Amino acid sequence: MSHTHIALSIATGLGFTFTVMLSHAAPPDTSDAQNYKSHKALLIGVDGMQYEKLQQAIQNNMAPHIAGLNPAKSYIGGIDGTATEQTTGSGPGWTTILTGTWVDRHKVPSNNNAWRNKAPSLFKQLKQADPERKTSSIVSWNTINNNFADDIAQGFIDLAIKCSDVDQCVADKASYELEYGRSDLVFAHFDEPDNVGHRYGFSTRYQTAIQGVDDKVGQLLSALKRRKQSNPDEDWLVLVTTDHGRRLPDGRNHGAQTLSEKTTFIALNKPANEQLTRPITNPDNPGHDNLYGFASQADITPTLLAHFGIEPVPARHAMDGLPLTGPLGARLFSARLAPDAAQVNLTWNGDGSADKPVHIYRNGKQIASVDYSRRGYIDNDIKELKGPVNYTAVIDKVPVSRLITLGDKKP
């Protein structure tokens, strides 16, 4: 679907949010806080850039700047058939990227300026952990900043600029902020690949749009290089990603749960852990050619927060993604209500933490610690529980959460 598609006006129930404590993360330890003050981040969003077509552009030397950041396959759209399933549209996609959650938490189901994100955003979590941090969101597709209007109004986004589908505006404003501004976090969003894809599909114009955005990525990287010459102690994480793929065979549309539309990518300038570099080849859900064994767009916000040294508080954690750097968390963590609705089955996968305990939390309270090798835990104590329940698994101080509504057939 195109960005101009209007969402169905179904308001009933969409105001529901799971209640958690005010802050989901803690400031860095006092001893480390000064070290992390030099940590900053640039998140570059390239809308609707098909992973396979990006690879083609890289092979033809049309995207050297993104290529230099080693893009790896990932997925969007949640897990189809569960409460995390969301359309492969830009509204849900960018909200997932900027919150680390799926639609069952962030409540942005489609493309519409009226939707408001309901999950703690990357901007909010950063500012709550360290109010002195400065953030910016410079977007070509104005709807992104509209969806995060509450963050802007509450001061969690210090610099919010809408460029109204003019990508050069984004490149120029973001470059200036990188070179001369005070932002610790810069989010810069480009829209041309998606716009061209909707009009012309997989054509030479689409490849040219990829090349054009790569040139603008290069402009940002050049501005950052000049900044670092004046500020050599700063440690910048650069991450480039997209919000969705495109529908085969012509690439004009997106929104459904197909492999091509769900396949995305994540590229970064630092060594990644196995969550990004070593996909799980035998996920419990083998759908979409084992796509769910790869990293997801929900992993981006946890990665950025980890770079800022913000240690998650397990009892308050409510993000669905894992950091792509540092220690591994519980990969493929899932929460499923048993058919008889008498218990919740928690499972995880991967072999990176086989000798470490997994601490299990339910609604902020630790309920168990089990060996990782068990690959699961059964919660039988759910008789008195109703409505949304937040489960969190913690390994090596790295949490990941899943939201489940008891009584709902969709886990």
* Model pLDDT for residues 154-165, shown as the tens digit of each residue: 999 999 999 999
Asked if 236 contacts 40 with a C-beta cutoff of 8 angstroms, the reply is: yes
pLDDT of residue 355: 75
For residue 275, is pLDDT > 80?
yes
Q: What is the mean predicted confidence (pLDDT) over 346-375?
A: 87
Residue that wins the pLDDT comparison between 377 and 22: 377
Instruction: Look at the block and give the residue holding tokens 């929900």.
Output: 298
Q: How far is CA 331 from CA 33, 373, 400, in A?
A: 28, 13, 8
Q: Are 338 and 282 in contact (CB under 8 A)?
A: no
Residue 141: predicted pLDDT: 98
Percentage of residues in the chain having pLDDT higher than 90:
84
- Out of 14-18, 46-50, 153-157, 399-403, pick the least confident: 14-18
Between 225-229, 354-358, 363-367, 398-402, the lowest mean confidence (pLDDT) is in: 354-358
Q: How many Å apart are CA 106 and CA 16, to the nearest integer?
A: 10
Q: What pLDDT score was predicted for residue 146?
A: 98
Residue 409, pLDDT above cutoff 60: no
Contact 244, 77 (CB under 8 A): yes
| Res. 173 pLDDT band, cuts 50 70 90 | very high
C-beta of residue 171 within 8 angstroms of C-beta of residue 192: no
At 340 the pLDDT is 87
Domain regions of the chain by residue span: 34-313, 331-406
- Is the per-residue pLDDT at 192 higher than 50? yes
Which of the two residues, 34 and 164, has the higher pLDDT score?
Answer: 164
Residue 282: CB atoms within 10 Å: 9
**Confidence band, pLDDT 50/70/90 cuts, at residue 32:** low
The domain 331-406: what is its CATH number?
A: 2.60.40.10
101 pLDDT band, cuts 50/70/90, is very high
Rounded CA-CA distance 71/210 in Å is 14
Query: Residues 7-13: what's their mean pLDDT?
Result: 35
Dihedrals phi, psi of 296, to nearest 5 degrees: -125, 170
**Band of residue 374 on the pLDDT scale cut at 50, 70, 90:** confident
pLDDT at site 34: 63
pLDDT (mean) for 133-159? 98
CATH of domain 34-313: 3.40.720.10
For residue 25, name the pLDDT band (cuts at 50, 70, 90).
Answer: low
Report whether the peptide linkage leading into residue 249 is cis, meaning its omega lies within 30 degrees of zero. yes
- Answer whether residue 1 shows pLDDT above 70: no
Cα–Cα distance, 135 to 155 (Å, whole number): 9
> What number of CA atoms fall less than 13 Å from residue 117's CA on the CB side?
29
Nearest C-alpha neighbor of 1 from the set 244, 246, 254: 254
The CA distance from 322 to 298, in Å, is: 7
Band (333; pLDDT cuts 50, 70, 90) = very high
Sheet holding 365-371, edge to edge: 365-371, 357-362, 387-395, 398-406
Query: Cβ(312)–Cβ(25) under 8 Å?
Result: yes
Q: pLDDT-based confidence at 358, cuts 50/70/90?
A: very high
Which residues are CB-neighbours of 154 under 8 A, at least 6 positions away? 124
| Cα 226 to Cα 174, 175, 219, 229, 232, distances in angstroms | 13, 10, 11, 5, 10
Predicted local confidence at residue 62, as pLDDT:
98
pLDDT at 91 > cutoff 70: yes
- The answer to whether the CB of 243 falls within 8 A of the CB of 45 is yes
Asked if residue 14 has pLDDT above 80, the reply is no
